[in-house]
Amino acid sequence: MSVVETAYGPVRGRAEDGVTVFLGIPYAAPPVGPLRLRPPEPPEPWDEILEAADFGPTAPKNPYAAPLDALLPDPDVPGDGWLNLNVWTPAADGGPRPVMVWIHGGSLRNGSSAVPVYDGRAFARDGVVLVSLNYRLGIEGFGVFPDAPANLGLRDQLAALAWVRENIRAFGGDPDNVTVFGESAGAISIGALLASPHAKGLFHRAVLQSGAPSAVSRDSAARTTSAIAEQLGIEATAAAFAAAEPGRLLAAQREVTRRGNPLTGGLGFQIVVDGDIVPEDPATALARGAADGVDVLLGSNTDEYRLWFVPSGLVDRIGRVTLRAAVLKQRVPWRAPRVYRAGRPGASPGEILGALATDTLLRVPFNRLADARTGRPGGTFLYEFAWPSPVRRLGACHALEIGFVFDTLGTADSRLLTGDGAPQELADAMHGAWVAFATTGDPGWPRWDAGRPVMTFGADGPHVVHAPREEERRLWG
């Protein structure tokens, strides 16, 4: 067993196959009682050794709705101390080693660091100190109130990163070589952190997987808060919500947000332009150079949309009339369906709409950000994950790449998306690229330039493709 002294007290981890693991370390006080719906506060110090042997409590959340509940396990650990983190290290008495901090996704209302696919031992095996964290979710983390600060979940992430800067050297990590990486809502959070003045110096590189920088106005985000308040019959204030029983909040949240998802819209939770943590739209700030000097790795999966469109049967219910209406409503370039269909012989209207949605939300914004950063300080690298899962026609869907990045294809949870026999050599390549990027700032392929190089992780192995599907991308300007 290994005991490490943190700024708040000693913690004891356990050794597993040459890696020492510390689970459930508090980085902030439990956000309950008078601290509910307030910014995170430091944890109370402790004198006795904290046994960091089990994952800490997860933030209150509803389970994923069917059919996603069968594809995306979401562990629920009871307790109030949700603001905790985990550390996997090759050895706490060595270093300093590069540090990677994982911020999970889940539409800002699901997920936790306890998901088995996020196990950090492969990173520690390869010389990286891996940190994963929990943050407040849903109305508790991203509600918008007149009497409380916005973006509480994002403030939690900042508090965790400050903990890393203060404590990670004791775990063998280098506080001057920290890479944040995240997927979906985790990547969107990182986009906001990249543009936030409050995050300066907390990390030096960033990986955004399937989540482009974005934020909305307070008024827009407050629609979800108001709808939940109406469902509960209370005022849309932090005082009223803090007095409500958490189970009632979750039930109302589920009812209000059950029809929303990242591709089709509907009420949900977003990061808010609050004039403080997020002073302005992150995409705009980053295009102007807000993260100059920070190396970034950006990418998405070829068939992101399939996670929502295929298991639900939506892809087969969309016909030409629905496609045409969606194109008009979303102001998609009028030539787009014809151009996309030419590159996808035999694709159904639902598949065309899904490809358009994927590019609108992810590929095009990432290309624009990479273009804006060209020639500026800090490297920019793009990737595409293209390996198609054989499970339920999912293809290269949203979240599929995570097991490859973490090199956890052998877990039962990973196989829910990948099936059996996913290519380990592709995981070796992708995981190795993330380790290399965190270590040196170079994942192993050319940085973005006028040739538009994209490392493609596909069925035929990793290879660089220059300007993939360029005719489609040019439609968007």
Q: Helices 152-167 and 185-195: crossing angle, nearest 10°?
A: 70
| CA distances, 367 to each of 351, 361, 442, 466 (Å) | 22, 11, 19, 12
Using DSSP bridges, classify how beta strands 453-458 and 461-466 pair: parallel, antiparallel or unpaired. Answer: antiparallel
The residues with which 99 forms a beta bridge, in sequence order, are: 129, 178
The SS3 assignment for 66 reads: coil
Rounded CA gap, 472 and 477, in Å?
10
Rounded CA gap, 118 and 54, in Å?
15
354 contacts 364 by C-beta, under 8 angstroms: no
**Cα–chain-centroid distance for residue 137?**
13
CA dihedral 150, 151, 155, 161 (to 10 degrees): -160
Using DSSP bridges, classify how beta strands 50-51 and 10-16 pair: parallel, antiparallel or unpaired. Answer: parallel
Rounded CA gap, 405 and 210, in Å?
13
Burial 241-256 (b: 16+ CB within 10 A, else e): bbebeeeebbebbbeb
Rounded CA gap, 248 and 140, in Å?
12
CA terminus-to-terminus distance, the chain = 57
Tokens of 96: 């300093």
| Residues tagged active-site | 184, 304, 398
Tokens of 452: 């538009």
